[in-house]
Each structure stands twice: as C-alpha cells, then as structure tokens.
Amino acid sequence: MELQVQLKALADKINQLKDKIETEESTKHAFVLPFINILGYDTFNPTEVVPEFTADLGLKKGEKVDYAIIQNDEPILIIECKNWKEKLSVHGSQLFRYFHVSKTRFAMLTNGIQYQFFTDLDEKNKMDDKPFFEFDITNLKDSAVNEIAKFHKSNFDVDKILDNASSLKFTKEIRKQIDTEIAKPSPEFVRLFASKIYSGRLTEKVIEEFTELVQKAFGQLIGEKINERLHFALNKEVIIQEKDQIEEVEQTKVVTSEEELEAYRIVVAILRRKLPTNRIVYRDTQSYFGILLDDNNRKPLCRLHLNGSKKYIGLFNDNKAETRQTIETIDDIYQFEKELLETVGLYEDVY
C-alpha cells in the first residue's frame, strides 16, 4: 500500500509539473530520480545509483548510460532517460547497445511517464526487441504496482523477476492480439467460430456476415461480464459494511485485558523488523484478539485466543486460513517468530 501511495503522489506531481519541464535533465531530476528513490535506492549514494554509468561499446569507448543501479558492485539495472515529451520507441537501439556490453539482466527506458523494462529472454546477453513490462505512471493499474514492487530494493531477486518476465511478455502480446481481434476480427479468427456453428460452406459472404456477428457477440459478452463484476462488487461492499456495523455493535461489549495488550506488544516487537509499528494494529472482539496489517480485517497477521481455559495463537497460511497453536503463556509467542514474519509476505502491497 505504501508503494502505491508513493507512486500516486509522484504521478500527481508529474501532472502538475510536466508542462514546465523543458529538458531531459529536468525530466531526470523531477520525475526519474524520485521513481528510483521510491524503489528504495539511494540516489545520493554513488555506490548504489551511478549517474553517467560508463558502458564501452567495442571500439567506441566512454559511452555512458544515464543511470545504473548497483548491487554487490555489479549493475542490476541500467536506465536510459529521455525528455518526457519524447516517444520511447525510437530510443530502443541505444539501450540495446548498452545492454550488450554490461553485466546486467535488466534495462529500463523511460521518459519519466512511460516506463519500459527489458531483459534477454530471446537470446542471452542480447536485449529483447520488446519490453516484457511497461506502464504509464499517470495511469497506473494495481497489477502494474505489484510488478514494480519486484524491483524494489527489499524484494529484488533476479531469478524471480526472470521467471515472471516470460509470462508477462507473452501475456501482454496475447492481450494485444485479443484487443485487435475484438476491434477488427480477422478472417482466421471469424472462421474459428463460424466453423464450429455453421454447417455450410464458409464462403467469403458467410465470413463477412459472421465477422459482424463475432464482433457483436464479443461486445455483448464483455458488457455482461463488466455488469456482473460491478454487481458483485456492489453486493460485496454492502456485505462488508453490514459486517463492519455488526462488529461495531459487538465492540462495545469487548473489554481488552492487560494480558492481550502485552501479547500485542510482543507481536509488534517481532514484526517491526519488517513493518513500521504504525501499520500493526489490533482489533479486540468477543471471540478473539486480532492483529491486522493497516487496520484492514482482510489482512490478518495473527489472532490471539487468551480468554478461555486454554490459550492459542492463530497463524495464517497462503490461503489466509487460520491454524491455532497452543501456548502456555504469552511469552510462547516468541516461538512463532518465523511464521509471523512469513505472514507479512502474504500481502504483495506491503512495501
């Protein structure tokens, strides 16, 4: 959530300032460096973010790429920047040359608004022609935020990003093809459906008639799916509101014990290694003492059951299902330090 908030703040800043930004240098300082900071890298540390990184190109020595992010004395991401008014498509060949002579597996091309990430899926040590991930920071989707988080300093893992890069790349291309076919169905696409439901000969006239029918059918299907999602979302919101109202009524009957507060402080002491303490919030109910991320009851960190004859700590797995573990005293909570820290990783928007 914090990452999403930071990206939104930068997007708002870009919309306010872009008409006053005239040069590439201004674009770097106003838009690109703040983005690198959001990823957790210190732009004031020349051993971590190197400006004007030298990339020798064969006989052509001293060529420089705008920035390189360094980890363990090796570049993990090289960045080429352009003026925010320029289109990125015409600049890929320059970054391609830099990539070839560096040891990085990732390259980023940006004008401070559009961002394109490249790797070498097609041929090792040779940058792909097309990015595997791209986004517009002023029109950012939740799925893009999750992918950006993988490049955060605290998450960066070359193998994990590479494993996901192929899926991202091909999914993006498939979506483009689907968009094209829905907007203007090709004869091959129309024939695929017509051959399944039309028993006659697929003449040019039949294909022409089915082209309109296929386009109409997809339009109706998409419209219905959107309406279903909206209906589901509205009903879900009503249910959540009703549940919250019930919890508020029940909350008036709850008395929080000193033992529960002390147990909460133990959990905070464990989780503060990964979370700011202000993001670890408790909600006491009649049936359990819940500890949540960002005060969100859909992001439980653990539950404490301390009021019965036996005491339990409730831990959550990947499916967010609770498993109770018996504890003799609240000091036993320290035994579950590993499980508690792993629970934080269930939420992709933590950083």
Confidence of residue 59 (pLDDT cuts 50, 70, 90): very low
The b-or-e profile of 99-112 (16+ CB within 10 A means b, else e) is beebebbbbbbbbb
CA torsion through residues 33, 39, 40, 46, sign: negative
The pTM for the full model equals 0.56
Q: Tell me which of 79-93, 100-114, 201-215, 312-326 is least confident.
A: 79-93
Burial class (CB in 10 A: 0-12, 13-18, 19+), 198: middle
- C-alpha span between 172 and 71 (Å, rounded): 29
Residue 229 is predicted with a pLDDT of 77
**pLDDT tens digits, one per residue of 307-322:** 888 999 999 988 888 9
- Nearest Cα neighbor of 16 from 84, 116, 82, 88 is 84
Measuring CA to CA, which residue among 333, 332, 302 is closest to residue 320?
302
Question: What token pair was written down for 108?
Answer: 């980023």
Alpha carbon 137 to chain centroid distance?
12
Residue 324 pairs in a beta bridge with: 314
Q: Name the E strands within 57-124.
A: 64-71, 74-81, 107-110, 114-118
Given a cut of 70, is residue 75 above it in pLDDT? yes
Among 152, 114, 151, which residue's Cα sits nearest to residue 131? Answer: 114
Mean pLDDT for the stretch of residues 119-130: 86
Nearest to 88 by CA among 104, 110, 70: 110
